């Protein structure tokens, strides 16, 4: 239980919200992957905002929650559905869709998988989500210089 209790409160709140969604409105969705359950994971501070991932049986999403610095913490704008905010992370720019929910407040998401039917286990979805999250915040290595053969140089191969 200690492991659970040490998880950040906002991550737990997000997870609880979507567990509620799963138990009610999404319960019988034919697109659900029955192997997956709702889990929020990997939330960390990023320039005042909170960035993490959310695995659900219907989608795997990057999620941004406002940081502790007030409702707009970390520049996480409150957006109505249909509006997006472009975020610049070390690995590049990404477009996040805004939404809000009672009990959680506003949040923004960027889809990685939907539906998420290719995952054979919840663990696999977790690994994919965490790998994407780590790569999101990591500076990508510079691309390797392109090897051009002599023929390629002449013929544009």
Distance CA 86, CA 91 (A): 13
Chain residues binding another protein by CB under 8 A are 21-22, 24-26, 29-31, 47, 56, 58-62, 75, 77, 79-88, 91-95, 97-99, 101, 109-121, 123-125, 127-133, 135-136, 143, 146
Nearer to another protein (CB atom), residue 5 or residue 151: 151
- In the bound complex, what is the minimum distance in angstroms from residue 3's beta carbon to another protein? 20
Distance CA 108, CA 85 (A): 8
Nearer to another protein (CB atom), residue 2 or residue 34: 34
Find tokens 């905010």 and name the residue: 85
Nearer to another protein (CB atom), residue 12 or residue 117: 117
Nearer to another protein (CB atom), residue 1 or residue 25: 25
Find tokens 């407040």 and name the residue: 105
138 is written with which tokens?
Answer: 């990591």
Find tokens 């998988």 and name the residue: 113
- In the bound complex, what is the minimum distance in angstroms from residue 11's beta carbon to another protein? 17
CA angle 8, 9, 12 (to 5 degrees): 90
């Amino acid at each position: 239980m200690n492991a659970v209790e040490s998880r950040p409160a906002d991550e737990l709140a997000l997870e609880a919200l979507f567990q509620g969604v799963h138990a009610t409105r999404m319960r019988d969705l034919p697109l659900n992957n029955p192997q997956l359950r709702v889990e929020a994971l990997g939330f960390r501070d990023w320039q005042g905002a909170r960035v993490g991932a959310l695995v659900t049986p219907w989608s795997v999403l990057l999620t941004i929650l406002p940081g502790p610095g007030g409702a707009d913490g970390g520049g996480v704008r409150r957006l109505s559905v249909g509006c997006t905010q472009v975020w610049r992370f070390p690995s590049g720019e990404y477009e996040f869709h805004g939404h809000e929910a009672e009990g959680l407040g506003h949040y923004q998401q960027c889809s990685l998988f939907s539906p998420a039917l290719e995952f054979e286990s919840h663990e696999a979805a977790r690994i994919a989500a965490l790998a994407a999250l780590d790569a999101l915040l990591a500076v990508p290595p510079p691309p390797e210089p392109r090897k051009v053969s002599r023929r390629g140089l002449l013929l544009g191969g």
